[in-house]
Amino acid sequence: MIDLVDYIEQIFSDYTFRTISIGTAVLGAVCGMLGCFAVLRKQSLLGDAISHAALPGIAIAFLITGAKDNSTLLLGALISGLLGAYWIKSITAKTHLKSDTALGLILSLFFGVGMLLLTFIQKQPNANQAGLDKYLFGQAATLLEKDIWLMIFVTVICLLVLLLFWKEFKLLLFDADYTKTLGFNIKLLDVLITSFIVIAIILGLQTVGVVLMSALLLAPAAAARQWTNSLGVMVVIAGVFGALSGVLGTGISAMQSNLSTGPVIVLVASVIVLISFVFSPSRGLLFKEIRFRKNRNDIKLHKTLAFMYDIAKSHENISHPHTIKILNNFQGYTKKSLYKLEQEGLIKIDGANWYLTEEGFYKAKNLYNQNVSLDD
């Protein structure tokens, strides 16, 4: 717990640490929000391809300018990321190669070119080149205040456009054909969304790196999806999850030596996804399992009850006691299930005997009727 207190103190006192925490939080939030669109459009892996495709852009920008100015490099990344995204679209549209092949192809080929250029640059006499490989896994520690202002600026613009075209985007997500028939320019909307996703990825390169960037886009959105069915709520939750992963990841990696921030942020986000998968009330695996078991038990009880009814109806007096033993041969029952039936007031147990109550008889009869009507 001391660590945690330290950590909170550090956030407020240490300038660098505060800067980085704010940076990763903003980054996580914007990636989470835009990631919702990627996930819902089934373009989850587009982010992975784009982030890898950005690498040669960084290297070429450096080769041209010879300077390690962050915004120039990011501009190069932006151009090559957009190029990669466009090429993927054209491969899937114009050839018989499927989207998975196109994604994998662009991802690995662009990355290969990038690595070739990076290793080529590393052998150059230019002393300035050291540290270009921080874009591979990201180095949150190199975040400066002006980088964060850039992030916030881009985030605000993205959000404004998102709000402005909210209903168009929403429509496009869920029914692209209908959007087209209504007369909206879906090509423009598509380009806008894809560009935003590319921009979000480029912003994160410095912090999380090209290799793991896609996870920051996907994970918060996939987690948020489990908690709601409304797009607006999902975007907000994904933003919160993203920011949370950023801050926690930065904190954890700062407390330990030798931990790069990117992988830790990704792991925190993955843990959030895991928690959401298991514990989400409506879709989560845990509650689904609980509901499943409850249903199964109910069906078993109904089966026992129906069998009891079959026995009881041959007697004039429905409260005529029968021994529990005769249930055994035909229908599975346990002490627990009998106890439960008694608790619900459907049967009465008297020593080794049982008999149906009025209510139980009525329910069992209805149950039977329902079955008949269902079978018909």
Q: Which stretches of the chain bind another protein, using CB under 8 A? A: 39, 42-45, 47-48, 52, 91, 94-98, 100-105, 107-120, 123, 133, 136-137, 211-212, 214-215, 218-219, 222, 225-226, 256, 258-260, 262-264, 266-267, 270, 273, 277, 283, 285
Q: How far apart are CA 50 and CA 145, in angstroms?
A: 26
Residue 347: helix, strand or coil by DSSP?
Answer: strand
C-alpha to C-alpha distance for 55 and 113, rounded to whole angstroms: 8
Pair of tokens at residue 31 = 């990636």
Nearer to another protein, 112 or 332 (CB): 112
CB of 109 or CB of 186, closer to another protein: 109
Closer CB to another protein, residue 73 or residue 267? 267
Smallest distance from another protein to CB 272, Å: 11
What SS3 state is found at 366?
helix
What is the rounded CA–CA span in Å between residue 281 and residue 285?
9
CB 285, min distance to another protein, A: 6
349 touches 342 (CB < 8 A): yes
**Smallest distance, Å, CB 228 to another protein?**
13
Instruction: Fill in the amino acid letter for 89.
Output: K
- For the bound state, the minimum distance from the C-beta of residue 195 to another protein, rounded and expressed in Å, comes to 20
Q: Cβ of residue 250: shortest distance to another protein, in angstroms?
A: 14
Residue 60: CB minimum distance to another protein, A: 13
Q: In whole angstroms, how close is the CB of 256 to another protein at the nearest point?
A: 8
Nearer to another protein, 96 or 187 (CB): 96
Q: Residue 174 carries which side chain, given as an amino acid letter?
A: F
Do the bridges between strand 322-323 and strand 347-350 make them parallel or antiparallel, or are there none, so unpaired?
Answer: unpaired
The residue type found at 347 is I
Nearest-angstrom CA–CA distance, 134 and 288 = 43
- Name which of 273 and 327 has its Cβ closer to another protein: 273
**Residues β-bridged to residue 349:** 354
Residues 194 and 271: their CA atoms lie apart, in Å, by 27
Strand partners, 348: 355
Tokens read off for 172: 């496009």
Closest approach, Cβ 133 to another protein, in A, equals 8
Where do runs of H (alpha helix) occur along 66-185?
Answer: 70-94, 99-122, 134-137, 145-164, 166-174, 176-181
SS3 170: helix
Q: Is 44 helix (H, G, I), strand (E, B) or coil?
A: coil
Report which of 149, 145, 123, 117 is spatially closest to residue 19, judged by C-alpha positions.
145
Q: In the complex with another protein, which residue's Cβ is closer, 52 or 363?
A: 52
